[in-house]
Amino acid sequence: MRGAKLAVRERADAARNRRTILDAAGILFATTSDPLAVTMDDVAAAAGVGKGTVFRRYGDRAGLLRAVFETRMAALTEAIATGPPPLGPATPARERIAAVHDAIVEAKLNNRQITLALERIERRPSRSSFFDTPNYKSAHTLFCELLVDIMGPERASWTAHALLSLARIDLIDHMVSAEGWTDLQVRHQVGNLVEQILGPDTC
Evaluate if residue 1 carries a pLDDT over 50: no
Residue 203's pLDDT band (boundaries 50, 70, 90)? low
Dihedral of alpha carbons 195, 197, 202, 203, sign: negative
Q: What are the pLDDT digits (tens) for 113-159? A: 999 988 887 766 555 677 888 889 999 999 999 999 899 999 999 99
Pairwise CA distance, residues 51 & 24, whole Å: 13
List of long-range contacts for 75-82, beta carbons under 8 Å, 24+ apart = 76/103, 76/104, 76/107, 79/103, 80/142
Evaluate if residue 8 carries a pLDDT over 50: no
Pairwise CA distance, residues 188 & 95, whole Å: 15
pTM of the predicted structure, to 2 decimals: 0.84
Average pLDDT of span 158-178: 96
Q: What are the pLDDT digits (tens) for 51-88? A: 999 999 999 888 899 899 999 999 999 999 999 999 99
Q: Domains of the chain (ranges plus CATH)?
A: 1-59 (1.10.10), 61-203 (1.10.357)
Evaluate if residue 42 carries a pLDDT over 80: yes
Q: Is 90 exposed, middle or buried (0-12, 13-18, 19+ CB in 10 A)?
A: exposed
Evaluate if residue 181 carries a pLDDT over 50: yes
